[in-house]
Amino acid sequence: MALKFMMAAAAATMMRQISVVAPVTPTPLVAHRVDDLEMEMEPAPIEPSWIIAGQPEARVALHSRSGDEGASTAIWDCTAGEFRWYFDWDETVVILEGAVHVTAQDGSERLLRAGDIGTFAGGTWATWRIDTYVRKIAFCRKRFPAPVAMAYRLRNLLRGGSTSSGGLAA
């Protein structure tokens, strides 16, 4: 009974939000060469209280944003330095150039270098140490509110498990 009530409340909340927000027609395709975005890079200063060592200078260029503004893709680069970083959103990175030594909040360490893919959970901290330079593609997605996330998990369970391809056609 409680689960049905939670599902109904989540559905009602989503419907209220949908009726207030005008529908957005998504752009069918957004495409850029990574190197072309280099010209659009803008300063993205790191919060000074997060810097541990050096004077890292970061830049970012937005590639795309979803119609509901719940996801975005950007190119980000940074010079040498060490700093803590808080991930507001879930973020998957593909390192394009250079390398970064990452220490997650659980103490695990990993060197990510060109060609590596890493995922950081929203709501977590990590320490980044960049010896010379790093450039990455960042795929960011806002976390759903707990009732919506629960509804998705329930839907996946009812569909026969959570081994979904995440909407990928391949």
Token pair 């069918």: residue: 28
Q: How far apart are CA 93 and CA 71, in angstroms?
A: 13
Residues across the chain: 170
How is residue 148 written in tokens?
Answer: 């919506």
pLDDT at 11: 54
pLDDT of residue 43: 97
Q: What is the pLDDT along the chain (170 residues), one digit of tens a residue?
A: 555 545 555 555 555 554 445 555 667 777 777 777 777 899 999 999 999 999 999 999 998 888 888 899 999 999 999 999 999 999 999 999 999 999 999 999 999 999 999 999 999 999 999 999 999 999 999 988 888 888 888 888 888 865 555 555 44
Round to whole Å and give the CA distance between 143 and 65. Answer: 15
Give the predicted TM-score (pTM) of the model: 0.74
pLDDT of residue 94: 98
Give the per-residue pLDDT at 77: 98
Cβ atoms of 139 and 91 within 8 Å: the answer is yes
